[in-house]
Structure 1
Amino acid sequence: MTEVVRLNAVSKVYGKGQSAVAALREVSVGIPKGTFTAIMGPSGSGKSTFLQCAAGLDLPTAGSVQLGGTELTGMTETALTELRRQRVGFVFQAFNLVSSLTVIENITLPLRLAGVKADGAWLAEIVRRVGLDGRAGHRPAQLSGGQQQRVALARALVTRPEVVFGDEPTGALDTMTAREVLVLLREVVSTLGQTVVMVTHDPVAASYADTALFLADGRIVDSMSMPAAEKVAERMTRLGAWK
């Protein structure tokens, strides 16, 4: 299968000398196109650093990162910003919506920033798929938390990115609403062929993915295909996540 993201011997060290902290240690992994991958591990295991390096938000100290065949290492910040805007979608725990903009204006914001006109048919399909029909003119304050995260997901999809990165995207939602968002993420993988990489601490969230990768002390220590929530929870316990 074609790999959308490839990390080769990626290490990330913060600080220097005695105070240096290794967040990632020689991580090598490929994320296949059209798959849903959950990144799991205890607090401090390197999950967020993995996402930041894979998405071009941060550059590794050593090793290389490729996104869609493009080598990110050595790119200027301007080039990286352009690449992220055009080829990567992001969904965070905080919805990061602009309160003064309507739903449709928030969704199309990445296109406006890039000076690109929205594809009307694609925009309408995304709005329908994420269940925001009839809400296009609403502002974030008029929406529930789940609806706001749907706006954020639609915004991540509007540029037709090669990969969507989620950093605890259901972390601020109640159980029922979180499940709805996870079903949506699963659907965009299964029906649109989207690639999703999601950092999560929640075994139930991980169970929606095709593969779970487990990080501990900055290394990938295990992977699990078709991860069931109870198996993920048991594996996390053995990583020391919930001692």
Structure 2
Amino acid sequence: MNQQPAAVRLDTVTRSFGKAADAVTALDGVSLAIPRGSFTAIMGPSGSGKSTLLQCTAGLDRPTSGRVFLGDTETTGLSERRLTLLRRERIGFVFQAFNLLPALTAEQNVALPLRLAGRRPRRAEVRAVLERVGLGSRARHRPTELSGGQQQRGALARALVTRPEVLFGDEPTGALDSRTGREVLELLRSMSDAGQTVIMVTHDPVAASYADRVVFLADGSIRDELCDPAAGQIAARMTALAVVPC
């Protein structure tokens, strides 16, 4: 895995909030490279910095210091306008909340990122990505006519329609039951196997076990990682991280 070119790279990234003595350091000199085509899970106890890591990596937040790269592009020095364009064109997002617009059909929701980018969506293009996530027969259904799992598949299709270099997921199965969550995770796994880079923040060891690699954070620093781990291994490592020394 480490021989593959990096889809995302962080060099000594620090993110602090507040000033002087009241400052809180959410990330403390984090360096991390994520290979293209890999599926990486980010885990850690509450307050470990995992959501801040995802936000800085995806260009939703700016680090206090350090450098972030998407492919060969350093994102930390980009203007807000260029950063917005980069997120729109090269990054996909899936969150715990599906965030589908209730007045639009699945097909219209998926086409929305293309319209926002000033492109006229081709119906065949939108239908192809809906087929990819198993929603080909539900294209004309509105979110209220879809199950939770189908809505998250719709959110995935919306994230994928722009063909992003990296797909970021923030607890993407957190609002789903275990069976439906497993279906979504299997879909993410298949996407990674087909070459899509996936980075997912999760608290669930079972969800993380679908990843190639699990990176563990604690107190804003990377403490450990596991490759191709089982859920039991991940849970044990999380338990060890959560233990507070006397």
TM score, norm. by length of structure 2: 0.95
User: Is 1:45 the equivalent of 2:42?
Assistant: no
State the secondary structure of the residue aligned to 1:100.
Answer: coil
Deviation at 1:125, TM superposition (A): 2.7
| CA offsets 1:203-243 (integer angstroms, 9 cap, x no match) | 00000000000000000111100011000000000001799
Supply the distance in 2 between the matched residues of 1:120 and 1:29 (Cα, whole angstroms).
Answer: 39
The equivalent of 2:221 in structure 1 is 219
Whether contact under 8 Å (2:127, 2:139) holds in the other structure is no
Supply the distance in 2 between the matched residues of 1:160 and 1:77 (Cα, whole angstroms).
Answer: 22
Whether contact under 8 Å (1:236, 1:242) holds in the other structure is no
Task: List, as ranges, runs of 4+ consecutive aligned residues in structure 1 with deviation greater than 6 Å.
Answer: none
Deviation at 1:186, TM superposition (A): 0.4
Matched residue count? 242
The equivalent of 1:108 in structure 2 is 111
State the secondary structure of the residue aligned to 1:7.
Answer: strand
Moved more, 116-125 or 59-68: 116-125
Whether contact under 8 Å (2:7, 2:70) holds in the other structure is yes
Whether contact under 8 Å (1:42, 1:241) holds in the other structure is no
The equivalent of 2:153 in structure 1 is 150
Runs of 5+ in structure 2 lacking a partner? none
Deviation at 1:126, TM superposition (A): 1.6
1:196 aligns with one of 195, 198, 204:
198
State the secondary structure of the residue aligned to 2:137.
Answer: coil
Supply the distance in 2 between the matched residues of 1:168 and 1:63 (Cα, whole angstroms).
Answer: 26
User: Is 1:27 the equivalent of 2:30?
Assistant: yes
Whether contact under 8 Å (1:13, 1:61) holds in the other structure is yes
The amino acid of 1:114's aligned partner reads A
State the secondary structure of the residue aligned to 1:238.
Answer: helix
Supply the distance in 1 between the matched residues of 2:240 and 2:169 (Cα, whole angstroms).
Answer: 25
| CA offsets 1:86-142 (integer angstroms, 9 cap, x no match) | 000000000011111110111111110001233554433321121102111111111
Whether contact under 8 Å (2:107, 2:140) holds in the other structure is yes
The equivalent of 2:185 in structure 1 is 182
The equivalent of 1:234 in structure 2 is 236
Whether contact under 8 Å (2:107, 2:127) holds in the other structure is no
1:170 aligns with one of 159, 173, 189:
173
TM score, norm. by length of structure 1: 0.97
The equivalent of 1:65 in structure 2 is 68
Question: Over the residues paired in the alignment, what is the CA RMSD in angstroms?
Answer: 1.4
1:124 aligns with one of 123, 127, 148:
127
Moved more, 10-19 or 36-45: 10-19
1:138 aligns with one of 134, 137, 141:
141
CA gap 1:85/1:229 in 2 versus in 1, 3 angstroms: same
CA gap 1:242/1:160 in 2 versus in 1, 3 angstroms: farther
